[in-house]
């Protein structure tokens, strides 16, 4: 290559501002920066152009992340040896670092990184590239000019040494890869142990909490004097707060372990959000606040996405707004930013007139266990996990979140998510409605091994006006199903002799029954939910059981099953 010819560097990042920043850092060197805004763009550029000395690659990108992009690059023969450095803000665990090395990266830097260190690392690889190119050019010149054999031997020797250096480097890289694989296996085993521990703890904590909160709700529905009601409400509020804390810890653990999964199912966006806000209306009224809803009617009625995770984000943000606002209003706005034939980009915003966030704390507000000031936790409570989880939930769906705030004036949290359009019709509203007790005489089989939970479920179902039988484990449940007809089964997952998964598989595969089955689980990890679906369960509900959610799920599933049975009978 010519002495003054600029060296080509490929910059890969989905954010234009990051590409611009890298270009500015490297601007004063003799480099030609080629920019790619996605993994696919990078692969196209590398296939069309040659002569890249190094690639600087972002890790978190939509559609194809940095790991997958690097793995694809390494599968192309001519690109196998191009050095790749990962630039990332989230490579904060051993597993992620090892994953980067295993994919084929030679180094990584954590954002925000030092421009001086970045330039120094790039310079090392550029210098190695230049020396390699010079040796190759000299070799070709020797062949063309047929120069003195001594010079040729010297050049061959230098080239051989360069190859030996490359082979040694390759061996070292292979040894590092083997060590990384071993360390990754150890780290993965540790993560699995942690996940199993959290799963077990979730079950052990939620099981007694189910009875405490459940029976508190039952007693609250009976005739009480003012003092008794006050005491019971205190128990209920404390129990609800404990469940929120448990959920936050479990969600954070799932995000850290990479176990957070997102569904793509059709749902009615406006109905789903309205039902979610309905859950907070009592708290909002109790604080004499006004809830303002601003819905853009240009948004398609039905979209594909994860309504559960969306509602979780909305609940966290609106819950925070309620917590930190003593007077005024809370506005929830949903508007269509852009759309094409396949997708719709939607902006969600939650604005309050609360205490606001100090300017120097805004950039840290999404960190784990972080709250705006040291006095915030004492005055308002909370763990500082909610916003950290919200940020992860938004970004792992390819979205972005922002915050604007002024002290004593309020805050606005806004995030943007993209949803797939669909022509699928959603017949039933997925929202939670109040109990109207319009459906009676539903025959329910409760499969539960813990006596307190059996009593609680029986009390709740009888209050619904339903018939209820109890089975202490899966074997007893199968015996009852063989002698009596039921409309629906409520199935606990962890039971002795025959657990909920085995029982459901037997009902579906051996008995060939299509009876609706709702899983009652104190463990709401992603793994168990996937197992529920695989076993053939119709739906699930987490303990402690929300009576309104339980009632609506039972009624919806029984109605659907009645329609299916009616249709089959008419077809015969």
Delimit the domains of the chain by residue range. Answer: 7-147, 194-256, 265-421, 443-571
**Tens digit of pLDDT for each residue in 205-236?**
777 777 888 888 888 888 888 888 888 877 87
**Tens digit of pLDDT for each residue in 61-104?**
888 888 888 888 888 888 888 888 888 876 555 666 777 777 77
Look up residue 65 and give its two tokens: 């992340």
pTM: 0.49
User: Which residue is associated with the tokens 């007893």?
Assistant: 476
**Tens digit of pLDDT for each residue in 309-318?**
888 889 889 9
Positive or negative, the CA dihedral 389, 394, 398, 400 is negative
In this prediction, residue 299 carries a pLDDT of 92
Tell me the CA distances in angstroms from 14 to 11, 17, 42, one per residue in order.
10, 9, 11
Q: What does residue 250 show for φ and ψ, rounded to 5 degrees?
A: -65, -40
Mean predicted lDDT score pLDDT of the chain? 80
List the CATH code of the domain at 194-256.
1.10.287.130
Let me know: does 522 contact 514? Beta carbons within 8 Å. no
In this prediction, residue 568 carries a pLDDT of 55
In this prediction, residue 429 carries a pLDDT of 44
In this prediction, residue 175 carries a pLDDT of 75
CATH topology match: 194-256 vs 443-571: no
Pairing of strands 400-406, 410-421: antiparallel
In this prediction, residue 470 carries a pLDDT of 95
In this prediction, residue 378 carries a pLDDT of 36
- Cα–Cα dist 73/262, whole Å: 28
The CATH number of 7-147, from 3.40.50.2300, 3.40.50.970, 1.20.140.10, 3.30.565.10, is 3.40.50.2300
Spatial neighbors of 278 by CB under 8 A, at least 6 apart, are 431, 432
For Cα atoms 263, 267, 270, give the angle at the middle one, nearest 5 degrees. Answer: 125
**249-258, 322-331, 374-383 — which is least confidently predicted?**
374-383
Instruction: Specify whether domain 443-571 bears CATH 3.40.50.2300.
Output: yes
**Tens digit of pLDDT for each residue in 448-468?**
998 888 999 999 999 888 999
- Cα–Cα dist 494/473, whole Å: 9
**Tens digit of pLDDT for each residue in 278-287?**
878 888 888 8
pLDDT at 414 over 90: yes
- Cα–Cα dist 542/520, whole Å: 6
- Structure confidence at residue 289 as a pLDDT band (50, 70, 90): very high
In this prediction, residue 293 carries a pLDDT of 92
Helices assigned H by DSSP within 384-525? 386-395, 451-464, 474-483, 500-505
Let me know: does 136 contact 116? Beta carbons within 8 Å. no
- Structure confidence at residue 362 as a pLDDT band (50, 70, 90): confident
Pairing of strands 31-36, 7-12: parallel
Neighbours of 224 (CB within 10 A): 14
pLDDT at 271 over 60: yes
Higher pLDDT, residue 110 or 501: 501
**Tens digit of pLDDT for each residue in 320-347?**
899 889 889 999 999 999 999 899 999 9
In this prediction, residue 17 carries a pLDDT of 83
- Cα–Cα dist 108/101, whole Å: 9
CA 453 to chain centre: 31
Q: What's the length of the chain? A: 572
- Cα–Cα dist 493/507, whole Å: 14
**9-23, 75-89, 400-414, 432-446 — which is least confidently predicted?**
432-446
Pairing of strands 488-492, 400-406: unpaired
- Cα–Cα dist 250/100, whole Å: 26
The CATH number of 265-421, from 3.30.70.920, 2.40.50.100, 3.30.565.10, 3.30.200.20, is 3.30.565.10
Let me know: does 407 contact 376? Beta carbons within 8 Å. no
Let me know: does 481 contact 453? Beta carbons within 8 Å. no
- Structure confidence at residue 179 as a pLDDT band (50, 70, 90): confident
Average confidence (pLDDT) over 234-253: 70
Let me know: does 118 contact 47? Beta carbons within 8 Å. no
Let me know: does 487 contact 444? Beta carbons within 8 Å. yes
In this prediction, residue 104 carries a pLDDT of 78
Residues paired with 349 in a beta bridge:
333, 414
Higher pLDDT, residue 310 or 543: 310
pLDDT at 425 over 60: yes
In this prediction, residue 570 carries a pLDDT of 52
Q: Which of 82-91, 137-146, 509-518 is predicted most confidently? A: 509-518
Average confidence (pLDDT) over 44-62: 88
Spatial neighbors of 416 by CB under 8 A, at least 6 apart, are 337, 345, 346, 347, 348, 399, 400
Higher pLDDT, residue 428 or 487: 487
**Tens digit of pLDDT for each residue in 95-122?**
667 777 777 788 878 777 778 888 888 8
- Structure confidence at residue 446 as a pLDDT band (50, 70, 90): very high
- Cα–Cα dist 119/33, whole Å: 13
């Amino acid at each position: 290559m010519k002495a003054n010819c600029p060296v080509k560097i490929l910059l890969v990042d989905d954010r234009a501002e990051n590409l611009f920043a890298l270009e500015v850092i490297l601007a004063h060197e003799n480099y030609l920066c080629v920019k790619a805004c996605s993994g696919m763009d990078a692969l196209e550029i590398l296939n069309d152009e040659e002569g890249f000395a190094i690639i600087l690659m972002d890790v978190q990108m939509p559609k194809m992340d940095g790991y997958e992009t690097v793995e694809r690059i390494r599968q192309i023969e001519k690109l196998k040896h191009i050095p790749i450095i990962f630039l990332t803000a989230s490579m904060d665990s051993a597993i992620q670092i090892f994953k980067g090395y295993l994919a084929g990266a030679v180094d990584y830097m954590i954002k925000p990184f030092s421009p001086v260190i970045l330039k120094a690392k790039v310079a090392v690889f550029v210098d190695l590239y230049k020396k390699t190119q010079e040796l190759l050019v000299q070799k070709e010149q020797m062949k063309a000019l047929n120069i003195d054999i001594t010079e040729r031997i010297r050049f061959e020797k230098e080239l051989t040494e360069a190859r030996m250096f490359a082979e040694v480097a390759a061996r070292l890289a292979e040894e590092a890869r083997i060590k990384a694989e071993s360390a990754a296996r150890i780290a993965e085993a540790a993560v699995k142990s942690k996940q199993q521990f959290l799963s077990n703890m979730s079950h052990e904590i939620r099981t007694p909490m189910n009875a405490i909160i459940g029976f508190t709700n039952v007693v609250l529905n009976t005739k009480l004097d003012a003092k008794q009601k006050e005491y019971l409400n205190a128990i209920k509020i404390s129990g609800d707060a404990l469940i929120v804390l448990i959920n936050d810890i479990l969600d954070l653990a799932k995000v850290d372990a990479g176990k957070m999964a997102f569904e793509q199912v059709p749902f009615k966006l406006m109905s789903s959000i309205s039902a979610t806000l309905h859950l907070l209306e009592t708290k909002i009224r109790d604080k004499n606040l006004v809830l303002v809803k601003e819905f853009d009617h240009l948004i398609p009625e039905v979209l594909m996405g994860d309504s559960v995770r969306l509602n979780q984000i909305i609940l966290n943000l609106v819950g925070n707004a309620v917590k930190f606002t003593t007077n005024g209003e809370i506005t929830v706005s949903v508007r269509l930013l852009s759309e094409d034939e396949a997708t719709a980009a939607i902006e969600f915003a939650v604005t309050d007139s609360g205490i606001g966030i100090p300017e120097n704390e805004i950039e840290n507000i999404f960190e784990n266990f972080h709250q705006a000031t040291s006095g915030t936790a004492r005055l308002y409570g909370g763990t500082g996990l909610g916003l950290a989880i919200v940020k992860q939930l938004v970004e792992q769906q390819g979205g972005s979140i922002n915050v604007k705030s002024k002290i004593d004036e309020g805050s606005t949290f806004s995030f943007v998510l993209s949803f797939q359009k669909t022509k699928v019709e959603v017949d039933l509203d997925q929202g939670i409605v109040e109990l109207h007790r319009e459906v009676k005489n539903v025959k329910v089989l409760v499969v539960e091994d813990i006596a307190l939970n059996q009593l609680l479920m029986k009390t709740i179902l009888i209050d619904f006006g339903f018939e209820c039988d109890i089975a202490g484990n899966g074997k007893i449940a199968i015996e009852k199903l063989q002698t009596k007809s039921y409309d629906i089964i409520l199935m606990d997952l962890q039971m002795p002799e025959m657990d909920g998964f085995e029982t459901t598989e037997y009902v579906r595969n051996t008995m060939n029954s299509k009876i609706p089955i709702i899983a009652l689980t104190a463990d709401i990890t992603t793994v168990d939910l996937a197992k529920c679906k695989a076993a053939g369960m119709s739906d699930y509900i987490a303990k402690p059981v929300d009576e309104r959610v339980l009632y609506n799920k039972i009624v919806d599933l029984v109605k659907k099953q009645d329609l299916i049975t009616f249709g089959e009978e008419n077809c015969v």
